[in-house]
């Protein structure tokens, strides 16, 4: 049985004061049911880099883990503006979102960068959440599976099957991110099943069965249950709806 993972990606929102208030509010809604939630799921928020220390403090003693939205693959060096895995780990970060579509499309991050970051995260025992997904143009040209397979092949190049349980893939169709257009559970399941097949071909059945595959793209309290009902959807990466404590809590508590 794969544990679900539900992660909130705050992007460049919520400064330290707002984030502290948010976490206090979220904890009021999550802490009382934490014992039930931790039986089958991991929960995570990923604040902006400079807000991580404040959120680490606010989360102390909670069952909600701390993630980051990006990192560099080297431990230190002349990389202006970047942050490394050891720096993040020092604040209790356990998960790293890697290759989010905004990083790929706005900051021109390549599959090769994504691959180096996944390898570095694993080296430091951080859980990489590697994002893949097609643009609207690619979907309309029937290239969804081709694009996602290329991103998987390059992003996971050289990553051994032993790492399968520690790797998380997030399928995030670019046309569904921040647009209010969610892939239907059936559309998402089709791609998730193709991703699982790819992992099976690369790593073997047992390893593929251990890897969690999240869906991301306009997830809300209203659609989370139908997405999680699909056999290959193991959780969600949530942007906009994770920015309000109430909707974030409802998504974290899905099915409870
Ligand atoms: C995201 O940023 O990963 C995301 C899925 O955003 P949203 O939920 O707002 O579509």
Closest CA to 50 of 24, 26, 92, 14: 14
Q: Read off the pLDDT of residues 185-237 as tens digits, 9 standing for 90 and up.
A: 999 999 999 999 999 999 999 999 999 999 999 999 999 999 999 999 999 99
- Determine the residue of 132, 237, 241, 248 to mutate for testing ligand 1's pocket, defined as the one with the most ligand atoms within 8 A of the Cβ atom: 237
DSSP state of 84: B
Whether 216 is in the pocket of ligand 1, judged by its Cβ within 6 Å, is yes
Whether 170 is in the pocket of ligand 1, judged by its Cβ within 6 Å, is no
CA distances from 193 to 10, 22, 74, 177 (A): 28, 35, 33, 20
Q: Alpha-carbon torsion 43, 198, 121, 78, what sign?
A: negative
Q: Read off the pLDDT of residues 60-108 as tens digits, 9 standing for 90 and up.
A: 999 999 999 999 999 999 999 999 999 999 999 999 999 999 999 999 9
**Residues whose CB is less than 8 angstroms from the CB of residue 241 and which lie 6 or more positions away in sequence, other chains included:** 218, 219, 220, 221, 247, 248, 251
* Catalytic entry in 95, 100, 134, 192: 100
Residue whose CA is closest, atom 4 of ligand 1?
A: 239
Q: Is 105 a catalytic residue?
A: no
Q: Read off the pLDDT of residues 133-146 as tens digits, 9 standing for 90 and up.
A: 999 999 999 999 99
Question: By the 8 A CB rule, do 44 and 23 touch?
Answer: no
pTM above 0.95, yes or no: yes
Whether 239 is in the pocket of ligand 1, judged by its Cβ within 6 Å, is yes
Ligand 1: atom nearest CA of 180 is: 10
**Residues whose CB is less than 8 angstroms from the CB of residue 55 and which lie 6 or more positions away in sequence, other chains included:** 19, 20, 23, 45, 47, 66
Residue 208 CA, ligand 1 centroid: distance in Å: 25
Residue whose CA is closest, atom 8 of ligand 1?
A: 239
Q: Across 124-176, where does the E strand assignment appear?
A: 127-132, 168-171
Q: Is 95 a catalytic residue?
A: no
């Amino acid at each position: 049985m794969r544990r679900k993972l539900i992660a909130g990606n705050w992007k460049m929102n919520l400064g330290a004061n707002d984030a502290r208030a948010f976490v206090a509010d979220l904890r009021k809604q999550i802490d009382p049911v934490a014992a039930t939630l931790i039986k089958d799921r991991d929960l995570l928020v990923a604040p902006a880099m400079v807000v991580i220390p404040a959120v680490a403090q606010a989360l102390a003693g909670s069952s909600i883990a701390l993630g980051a939205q990006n990192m560099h693959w080297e431990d230190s060096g002349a990389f202006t503006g970047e942050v490394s895995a050891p720096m993040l780990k020092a604040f209790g970060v356990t998960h790293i979102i890697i290759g989010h579509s905004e990083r790929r499309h706005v900051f021109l991050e390549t599959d090769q960068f994504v691959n180096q970051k996944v390898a570095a995260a694993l080296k430091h025992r951080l859980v990489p959440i590697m994002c893949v997904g097609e643009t609207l143009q690619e979907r309309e040209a029937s290239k969804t599976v081709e694009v996602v397979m290329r991103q998987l092949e390059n992003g996971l190049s050289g990553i051994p099957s032993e790492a399968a349980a520690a790797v998380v893939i997030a399928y995030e169709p670019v046309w569904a991110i921040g647009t209010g257009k969610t892939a239907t559970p059936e559309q998402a399941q089709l791609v998730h099943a193709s991703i699982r097949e790819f992992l099976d071909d690369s790593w073997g059945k047992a390893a593929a069965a251990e890897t969690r595959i999240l869906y991301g793209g306009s997830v809300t309290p209203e659609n989370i249950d139908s997405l999680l009902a699909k056999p290959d959807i193991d959780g969600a990466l949530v942007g906009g709806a994770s920015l309000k404590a109430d909707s974030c809590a409802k998504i974290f508590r899905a099915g409870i």
